[in-house]
Amino acid sequence: MLPVYPEAKHNPLGDANMCSRLLFWWLTPLLRVGYKRRLEEDDMYSVLPEDRSARLGEELRGYWDQEVSRAEKDAREPSLTKAIIKCYWKPYLVWGILMFLEEGTRIVQPVLLGKIISYLEYYDPSDSAAFREALAYAAGLSVCVLTWAFLHHLYFYHIQRVGMRLRVAMCHMIYRKALRLSNSATRETSTGQIVNLLSNDVNRFDQVTMFLHFLWVGPLQTVVVTALLWMEVGISCLAGMAVLILLLLLQSCIGKSFSSLRSETAAYTDDRIRSVSEVITGIRTVKMYTWEKSFADLIARLRRKEISKILTSSYLRGLNLALFFALSKIMIFVTFFANALLGNVITASQVFVVVTLFEALRLTGTLHLPMAVEKVSEAVVSIRRVKNFLLLEETSQHNPQLPSDGETIVQLQDFTAVWDKASKTPTLQGLSFTVRPRELLAVVGPVGAGKSSLLSAVLGELPPSQGQVTVRGRIAYVPQQPWLFPGTVRSNILFGKKYEKDRYEKVLKACALEEQLELLEAGDQTVVGDGGTPLNRGQKVRISLARAVYQDADIYLLDDPLSAVDEGVSRHLFEQCICQALHEKITILVTHQLQYLKDASQILILKDGKIMKKGTYVEFPKPGVDFEDILLKTNEEAEPSRVPDSRTLRGRPSEPSVQPQESPRPSLGDAAPEDQDTENTQVTLSLESRSEGKVDFKAYKDYFTAGAHWFIIIFLILVNIAAQVSYVLQDWWLSSWANEQSTLYATAHGKGKEILIPDPGWYFIPYSGTVLFGISRSLLMFYFLVNSSQTLHKRMLESVLRAPTFLLVMGVVGIMVVVIPWTAILLIPLGIIFFVLRRYFLETSRDVKRLECATQSPVFSHLASSLQGHWTIRAFKAQQRFQELFDTHQDLHSEAWFLFLTTSRWFALCLDAICAIFVIVVAFGSLFLAETLNVGQVGLVLSLALTFMVMVPRCVRQSAEAENMMISVERVTEYIDLEKEAPWEYKHRPPPSWPQRGDIDFSNVSFRYSSDGPLVLKDLIPLIDSRKKVGIVGRTGAGKSSLVSALFRLSEPNGIIGIDGIGTATIGLHDLRKKMTVVPQEPVLFTGTMKKNLDPFNEHTDEELWNALEEVQLKEAVEGLPGRLNTELAESGSNLSAGQRQLVSFARAILRKNQILIIDKATSNVDPRTDELIKKKVREKFVQSIVLTITNRLRTVIDSESVMVLDSGRQVEFSRPYKLLQNRNSLFYKMVQHLGEAEAAALTETATQVHMERK
């Protein structure tokens, strides 16, 4: 089912007549609304059917698939360029012909101009026939300028639309591929590269389509202009054309270098985006480990490498623009100088025909043609990068999930598989088991045993190297790292299924979510995910579990969901959800909660990818099992829980779909089979905030002062003025020289005796100024702007760069007024009209541009979210729904982009039409006032009028576009102006030896994450003495992890926290955080080697690293890696298990050796044996330190010196475990008793033993 737009505004372009389409009149209602008030999302017109992302993407994908098939047959590499050409060549060719006609009208204009000047040169008031002929030429010139104005904007409108379609189609294909990448392919790319492809590379298609036709129109136009010049001045025209050809060759060589520069820049950009993404994802860890400066330096180094390439290409681009600025004048001078040396005398009409022909060639030959070479070179690199990505391996379909028309089953037979083909050791080896309905298979084993890999094999993510996997039935999957997409809690649970109140409430109850939703202000309508309300890991796990249960699938794969919640919730989830709600299903549960093994139908013990033992709980002999150490005493102590014999949650099995989110107005239905019940539930989430009104002067000030000091800016302005003055002086010289040539022609008729050669000394002054100042201006401008815009888009840089054209326009206008004063009568109202029109246009254009920026963010947010949860999406077979949602976001962005394109064209067409009328009035006025004017004046003004027609609209348009592009600066400065945290260091710093004891004193401490957020900690008053080992427990959401945030001042707490008598608020953040070490619940690993992740900034020896690894039970695993410490980890450490990632984080903490250690549920993903060993090592290693252990496993802290119990952000108990267990009214006692009689007795016994030993 395609996206539905219930509130989409009808696009009037679909019904517009031909005249309205040509003149963009259909935009009038929008422009009126935009002038009166701020435009909102609902004011945008819906995207046209032919521009929809799904349609465009599937069309291009069809051609790409054909090309891939053909290439396989021909044993060659497929060509993405061929697929693009086959898809778009027809419309692109049509618009190319239109551009050829447009350029043709530009060439005819100088010829007609020459005829008008010729009439004035031989002016005879009595010759009415000549006057009528001149009027006809003026009428022809009028038709040409008007035709050019319409054709020019018609071409650019349609050609930009073709570019938009290509970009949108390519984004569709990239996203589709990203959802289908195999796990081996994900190691060959990164999130940074995919984001860069979508944000940077595809934009090259927008640009190359605009200029590609100039590769053949430019040379063709040059040939035609050369022929016309030959007819006017003979062989001397070749001198000017030789200059053009030499410079074109130079520019072509420059253009080719853009390809290699673009390739190098893209690689650096990939690295920088990946690094920035990793730092932002792990910002909490980065702050707590005080790595901000180090990572800022790392990213700055990457940025410098990237900028060095950008700066080189900018200098080359600046050189091209400088040549564009000066080349036509050089060609004119060389042509006339050669003509004079050959002894020829030419008329004034010939002078200005030559001038206007060179001007007509100037834009195409010296700007658009080199730009076409540059854009094609860059596009070739982008196409190659996109093609390489599209050719990456896709996930194989070894396990087709057959419809459950018969018995559902999961069966592995002699299954062997490996993640890394280069590895000699299989990930899984010789696995064989069968699970049928109503069976619960519990999979246990130490860290890195292959438990999650086993689930991956069932999902089809890990293809077998030998053996067979049989899966019949629909799968629901709960990953170890819970994933929520941006949307409401309800939409995350429903995942596109129809909302059924009774069933939904049963699922909430089974997954212990009822109380949690009451804590959220908006209940299940609370927005979560990117930009939404932050949830703790336990809440995320329960929502993820509820999503799976609500799907009513046949097979449930649960990857250790019980470790993220407290013991009470864990038992509830096991009994109410796994044993009751999923009683009829096939359930495979990976767990470290060994107390539940008695209730499993089968137990699978894995170690090193092999099955060590398989069978029911009663079949396990008590001695002699290899896994006995892991089970510890739990096998004997765990109380068997009763499996309730009650009705299960039943429902018809269905394939899940995705609820739309984030978009202002999309609604998606389920693309499931017809027999499934789904509904279109509209989810409306607001776009990110955007500014109103004019771009503030502060944005300009911030941008320009970021690049250079005010003195440099003033110098740059002076260089611009000098360049324009020298440019204008040439026109003065040309006018006077044309008059002299006309006189010579009239008296001597070119006999060669009175030839006036241009004075090179006088002429070289303005020309050398033009070249020198032009090149200096361009290079200095690019250097200045690249410095200013290190975080801004390249397109904005190019737009702002062209703003100085305003000075050139002032020069043109000034000359016209001085030469023929009556033109001021036209120019004054013209200026007023331009000013009013610009203001009217900008009111709408600014809002449309802001909407375009805002609607682009959800596209990247959806991509990033999908990459994080691609296993879940594939497990639920929801690729098509997420693809439709991506297309919805793209369509929404296309709405804004298309309006920006069309409103800009409307404005440009209005300006050009007004300028065309000005040229017509000047042409006819010159004929009627011929008696009062000389030939040089008329020729200069008419040629300048044609230049005026190109330059003035361009200047006004670019001034408006510059303001629109400054919105990007405005958005960046919003982030720059975010509220800052406290300074990293104060002038008065604590002593280097602080803290010596490590006492922590809380005095009425309250804490909230944001100024307007709820209190998550309330009036804490504990005093933690030095060297104490304190356990911190409480129900999920009680505020345990918030205590860490308060200690590290991730947000400023109210009240006083003192460490060794020094208030934490009185010292710098780095001075505070460096003295504490935290092992976070969710470990953060960075792309790079194992060594870099342990010691990012080379502060420790290899021996120290190995010792740390040994102490956290990881040494053996790392020694088995191909490169040992130098083994490259995948993005976010995805080639390690969740438990191994936590152990790496533990090793970091051991290396820091601080007086205060905080363990925040850091062993939730490791087995009990490893947990016990780590606890023992921590006690040995940090005997002189305070250790705060936050955990959901009460066994972990039962032997602590004190236990703090939190409930709803309050400290309700703080005492020795033994003492708390003696008080039957204590919350800690109730939490222990909730574990079951046997487990409670075991914990009480342990607490008693520890108490007696310490007595």
Quick one: tokens of 913?
Answer: 């039409």
CA torsion through residues 150, 152, 155, 160, sign? negative
Average pLDDT over residues 281-299: 79
The model's confidence at residue 52, banded by pLDDT at 50, 70 and 90, is very high
- For residue 29, is the peptide bond before it cis, meaning its omega torsion is within 30 degrees of 0? no
- Residue 510 makes CB contacts below 8 A (sequence gap 6+) with 546, 549, 573, 576, 577, 580, 581, 649
pLDDT of residue 803: 28
Q: How many CA atoms lie within 13 A of 718 on its CB side?
A: 6
Q: Nearest to residue 938, comparing CAs of 283, 123, 174?
A: 123
Token representation of residue 237: 């025209």
Q: How far are the Cα atoms of 332, 699, 738, 961 from residue 745, in angstroms, in the given order? A: 19, 57, 10, 47
Query: d(Cα 1239, Cα 1250) in Å, to the nearest integer?
Result: 17
CA distance 597 to 236: 97
pLDDT value of residue 678: 44
Average of per-residue pLDDT across 907-920 = 85
Are 1073 and 1139 spatial neighbours (Cβ–Cβ below 8 Å)? no
pLDDT confidence band for 8 (50 / 70 / 90): low
Contact 707, 790 (CB under 8 A): no
Q: How confident is the model at residue 661 (pLDDT cuts 50, 70, 90)?
A: very low
Mean pLDDT over residues 335-339, rounded?
A: 81
The pLDDT, as a whole number, for residue 891 is 92
Nearest to 688 by CA among 849, 857, 522: 857
Angle between helices 292-341 and 214-233 (to 10 degrees): 20
Residue 168 scores a pLDDT above 90: yes
- Looking at residue 802, its pLDDT comes to 29
State both tokens at 187.
């190691």
CA 221 to chain centre: 41
- The pairing of strands 440-444 and 586-590 is parallel
Identify the residue with better confidence: 829 or 230: 230
Helix (H, G, I), strand (E, B) or coil at 681: coil
Residue 676 — pLDDT band, cuts 50, 70, 90? Answer: very low
Q: Count the alpha carbons within 13 Å of 782 in the hemisphere toward its beta carbon.
A: 24
Candidate from 44-58, 190-204, 503-517, 693-707 with smallest mean pLDDT: 693-707
State mean pLDDT over 40-53.
87
Q: What is the pLDDT of residue 169?
A: 95
Q: How far apart are the first and last CA of the chain?
A: 71
Which pLDDT does position 683 carry in this prediction?
36
Average pLDDT estimate for 767-783: 64
- Using DSSP's 3-state secondary structure scheme, residue 1226 falls into coil
pLDDT above 70: percentage of residues in the chain: 79
SS3 1004: strand
Question: Which of 391-400, 436-445, 805-814, 1231-1240 shows the lowest per-residue confidence on average (mean pLDDT)?
Answer: 805-814
- Within the chain, how many helices (H) and strands (E) appear? 42, 24
Decide the pairing of beta strands 1000-1007 and 610-615: unpaired
- How far apart are the C-alpha atoms of 442 and 919, rounded to whole Å? 85
Average pLDDT over residues 144-152: 88
Q: For position 1146, what pLDDT does the model report?
A: 83
* Residue 222 and residue 183 in contact, taking contact as beta carbons nearer than 8 Å: no
For the ranges 127-136, 309-318, 577-586, which has the lowest average pLDDT? 309-318
Residue 1218 has pLDDT above 80, yes or no: yes
How far is CA 56 from its chain centroid? 21
Neighbouring CB atoms inside 10 A of 642's CB total 9
Query: pLDDT digits over 1207-1216, tens only?
Result: 888 888 888 8
- Identify the helix (H) or strand (E) that includes residue 263: helix 237-281
- Where does the pLDDT of residue 556 fall: very low under 50, low under 70, confident under 90, or very high at 90 and above? very high
Look at 368-377, 428-437, 732-741 and tell me which has the smallest mean pLDDT: 732-741
Q: pTM (2 decimals)?
A: 0.78
Residues 6 or more apart from 528 whose CB is under 8 A from it?
484, 486, 487, 488, 489, 492, 535, 543
CB neighbours (10 Å) of residue 35?
A: 13
CA-to-CA distance for 1187 and 1202, rounded, in angstroms?
11
Q: Which residue has the higher pLDDT, 293 or 670?
A: 293
C-alpha 158/C-alpha 554 separation (Å) is 51
Element (H, E) at 340: helix 292-341
Residues 455 and 606 sit within 8 Å (Cβ to Cβ): no
Q: CA 425, CA 1117: separation in Å to the nearest integer?
A: 12
> In percent, how much of the chain has pLDDT > 90?
9
Choice between 333 and 139, residue whose per-residue pLDDT is larger: 139
User: To the nearest whole number, what is the mean pLDDT of the chain?
Assistant: 77
Residue 357 has pLDDT above 60, yes or no: yes
Distance separating alpha carbons of residues 417 and 426, to the nearest angstrom: 6
What tens digit of pLDDT does each residue of 595-653 get? 788 888 889 888 888 888 888 878 765 443 444 444 443 333 333 333 333 323 223 23
Strand order, beta sheet including 602-607? 475-478, 555-559, 586-590, 440-444, 602-607, 610-615
Mean pLDDT of 855-874: 86
Rounded Cα distance, 861 and 848, in Å? 21
Taking each helix axis from N to C end, the angle separating 760-788 and 292-341, rounded to the nearest 10 degrees, works out to: 160
Tell me what the mean pLDDT of segment 260-281 comes to.
77
Over residues 103-120, the pLDDT tens digits come to 888 888 888 888 888 887
DSSP 1120: T
What pLDDT sits at residue 782?
64
Rounded Cα distance, 1112 and 1147, in Å? 6
The set of residues, in sequence order, having a beta carbon less than 8 Å from that of 619 and lying 6+ positions away, is: none
Residue 466's CB is within 10 A of a number of other CB atoms, namely: 12
Higher pLDDT, 593 or 80: 80
Q: What pLDDT, on a 0 to 100 scale, did the predictor assign at position 768?
A: 62
Query: Average pLDDT of 1074-1092?
Result: 83
Name the DSSP class of 3. Answer: -
Average pLDDT over residues 858-870: 86
Coil, strand or helix: which one is 537?
Answer: helix
Pair of tokens at residue 77: 């590499």
Query: Given this model, what pLDDT does residue 663 score?
Result: 35
Strands 1076-1079 and 1156-1160: parallel
Listed in sequence order, the residues at least 6 apart from 340 whose beta carbon sits closer than 8 Å to its beta carbon are 755, 756, 757, 758
What is the crossing angle of helices 80-121 and 879-928, to 10°?
A: 10
Complete DSSP assignment for 944-1003: HHHHHHHHHHHHHHHHHHHHHHHHHHHHHHHHHTSPPPPPS--SS---TT--SS--EEEE
Tokens 């070749």 -> residue:
238
Work out the burial of residue 736: count CB atoms within 10 Å of its CB; fewer than 13 is exposed, 13-18 middle, 19 or more buried: exposed
The sign of the dihedral angle between the CA atoms of 624, 630, 631, 633 is positive
Q: 1121 by DSSP, 3-state: which?
A: coil
Rounded CA separation 223/226 (Å): 5
Can you give the pLDDT at residue 288? Answer: 84
